[in-house]
Amino acid sequence: MPSLRSRVLSAALVAVGRRRRFASAEAVRDRVARAARRPASHLPPRRLGRVADISRTFVGAWPVYDVCPRGAEPSAQVLYVHGGGYVDELDRPHWELVRTLVVRARARVVVPAYTLAPRGTADRTVPIATDLLSGLIASGGDGGTVLIGDSAGAGLALAAAQRLRDRDGEQPSRIVLISPWLDVTVSHPDQAALEAADPVLARAGLREAGRLYAGTLAPDDPRVNPLHGGFAGLAPMTVFTGTRDVLTTDSRELLRRAREDGAEVEFHEAAGLPHGYPLLPLPEGRAARARIVELVRSAGAA
């Protein structure tokens, strides 16, 4: 049973029209057009600078933020890939998760503000994310490296881990996927029923955002749909999903395929919780973040 706070928040998300962002293909195209005219900021909030040292470099056209605990040696490092349907920038909940990892896990967190669709398509984005992950692993020395992604960022993170495995045989210490969006076609037969209860996402807009991100690639290309990338040889994975999320079918399919391939998966499916709940100010979100902190600490201690 979800907490009262979770039920209230889900109702509030519906009331404020949060789902309208993905209500239709036209709604997504309009948002993309507005962002092209007036790009949203991806800058970290000022309050993060009170507890962390923040620097920025560029990897090609990507601004990449390096966030380290102030006055302390990091015990682990994280590559965090943000969500937003491949069309939205880093936002406050993403930076709040970064803050949690820096303060509570004493982690160095590397945060790419990757190029959004339609300029940033999977054929360009996945190789850059792979190189970032490889470089972070190489720079880690004895410390562990955890790859974390939420929603669309989880799809990009998983595709990068698969590409790195195939290219170099390398892997991070662990992969953490929060409400992962893995199949951009949004075509699972169970998703129609799930959509009716989802306060955040709708299939029509997701399909359009996925089409923009896929670019010229086929929808079953592993760079676009990492469910087709194979799971053997990947780092241990931890997956969080909620049952009021139209994308929970992707997490369940990941679990099935990963187990078939002999991959290790720690799976958390929270009854009645919406998309991205580990990033939300909910009791269940706090519990999920506590587990993520624990996993990052464990990677650093290994």
Domain boundaries, the chain: 4-39+54-301
Per-residue pLDDT tens over the stretch 140-193: 766 799 999 999 999 999 999 999 999 999 999 999 999 999 999 999 999 999
Domain made up of 4-39+54-301: CATH architecture: 3-Layer(aba) Sandwich (3.40)
Segments of the chain scoring below 70 in pLDDT: 1, 4-19, 141-142
- Residue 117 has what DSSP assignment? T
Say how far residue 199 (Cα) sits from the centre of its chain.
Answer: 19
pLDDT value for 5: 63
CA distance 208 to 249: 19
Closest CA to 186 of 60, 116, 98, 85: 85
Sheet holding 52-59, edge to edge: 52-59, 62-69, 107-112, 76-81, 144-150, 174-178, 237-244, 265-274
Q: Which residues pair with 176 in a beta bridge?
A: 148, 238
Residue carrying the six token digits 């990052």: 296
Q: Is 253 within 8 Å of 182 (Cβ atoms)?
A: yes
Q: What is the mean pLDDT of the chain?
A: 94
Q: Which residues pair with 57 in a beta bridge?
A: 64
pLDDT value for 16: 41
